[in-house]
Amino acid sequence: MDRPQARTGSPAVTPAARGDVAVIGGGMVGLASALQLQRRGRTVTLIDPGDPLGRASYGNAGVISRGSIFPVAGPGLISKLPGYGLGRSVAVRVNYRSLPRMAGWVRHFLAACNEASWLAAAEALDPLVRTALDHHMALADELGTRHHYRQTGFLRLYRQSGSLASAKRERSVLARFGIEAEPLDAAGIAALEPGLADRYAEGLHFTQSASVDDPGAIVAALYAAFTASAGHIAAHVTDIRPTNDDVELTIGGETHRFAQVVVAAGVHSASLARALGDRIPLVGERGYHRLAPWTGNARLTRPIYDVSGGFVASPMAGGARILSGVELALPDAPADESQIATVLADAARSLPVDADAAGPVWMGSRPSTPDSLPVIGFSRASRSVVYAFGHGHIGFANGPATGLAVAALLAGETPDFPIKPFSPQRF
């Protein structure tokens, strides 16, 4: 059997050798955790099999949203579920063959569709989300990536007049947390984004939000900073077993032992947690995108979310990244490109882009819990294993803060934000 090899320039890890810390997962959360542990003097090995371009941390909208404190499950969602199930909303697709294996997740999701859970999730997420931009800027200064960031805010756009009334409750909660969401009429939208077609009657400008023009470049810079003096095993972890003194990982059929382990493997984290006795409902909220080149001289200056169209458009290097809504599916389910095809054609009516010249379809799975709260904390099986996954739509934005929390936990310290609501044992 072939032995997993460390990449060139990285220290090799031999079977049955006892290492210091292993981080399973090379997305934003895993890399940020690995880097923060490394800066505390730990010897860290990254274990990740995949292509970085295939991860949700690469293919997202690149938005660091101050307003992302609300769960997907909410008090008004139950009435919309029949339409979602029948495919009447372009924003949500369901892979029916995946549903039987998602039954546990669906049950917890439906239980969270109420006012009390919605408000509790906002209370829990705000301390994490409010520092996201500060942590990104600190890393950007260290990594030399500040030029990728734009602090121009984020727009949520409505095509029908009177739509803002439906967001009244949300806006009152946002205001309670000091989150700015400035209302806009059609003239205000045009003043901010003159390149948009005249399709939008109202909107909200989240002025404290920021975005990046190349999420993959941020992830690549983190990876380069970490691997300059650390190992990377390009393989799958197929089993995890805590012992009295350490944690054993099966990697490529061979046993490796580590003093501590971080599980940050995105949608694949639930199977590792299950091996440790933690049954955590997790599904992949699939997203698709295509990069459409600009036409003429018009541009977007900030990301937009078209509520009726069910798409996000984010200005990136080379054009606008058009992102679809959600497809609930298991990671191994076949791709369904119908959703991105529909929203790209619609987005081309709003944006100065050439849909016919758009790049290839990208697909990735956001690791999502039914209550939209990440899983951050110790496994029930061992305090040598920390979980850091399930961030859903906010993993890219909140990866740096989560990495700091992981490093604090493994050092026996208290993280900077409350993690009790994110406990792996809450389900």
pLDDT of res. 278: 97
Round the average pLDDT of the chain to a whole number and report it.
91
Same-domain status, 342 and 313:
yes
pLDDT of res. 78: 81
Same-domain status, 296 and 356:
yes
Q: State whether residue 311 is helix, strand or coil.
A: strand
pLDDT of res. 265: 95
Residue ending a domain, choose from 318, 337, 368: 368
Number of domains in the chain: 2
Residue 69 lies in a domain: no
Which pTM does this prediction carry? 0.92
User: The CATH number of the domain where 412 resides is what?
Assistant: 3.50.50.60
Both tokens of residue 331?
Answer: 């990671």
pLDDT of res. 2: 33
Distance of CA 301 to the CA centre of its chain: 22
d(CA 122, CA 69): 5
Q: At what angle do helices 132-143 and 215-227 cross, to 10 degrees?
A: 60
> Pick from 291, 269, 285: which is nearest to 364 by CA?
285
Q: Between residues 85 and 425, which one has the greater pLDDT?
A: 425
pLDDT at 14 over 60: no
Both tokens of residue 194?
Answer: 């003159």
> What H or E segment, with its residue span, contains residue 77?
none
pLDDT of res. 6: 33
Q: What mean pLDDT comes out for the span 185-197?
A: 97
Residue ending a domain, choose from 368, 383, 398: 368
pLDDT > 90 fraction of the chain, expressed in percent and rounded: 80
> Pick from 384, 226, 233, 353: which is nearest to 291 by CA?
353
Confidence of residue 51 (pLDDT cuts 50, 70, 90): low
pLDDT > 70 fraction of the chain, expressed in percent and rounded: 95
pLDDT of res. 77: 85
Q: For residue 202, give its domain range.
A: 75-129+143-210+282-368
Give the least confident one: 46-60, 260-274, 396-410: 46-60
Q: What is the pLDDT of residues 235-261, one digit of tens each?
A: 889 999 999 889 999 998 899 999 999
d(CA 34, CA 17): 19
8 Å CB contact between 45 and 231:
yes
Same-domain status, 236 and 334:
no
pLDDT of res. 53: 59
Confidence of residue 330 (pLDDT cuts 50, 70, 90): confident
Residue type, 10: S
> Pick from 418, 423, 288: which is nearest to 363 by CA?
288
pLDDT of res. 4: 32
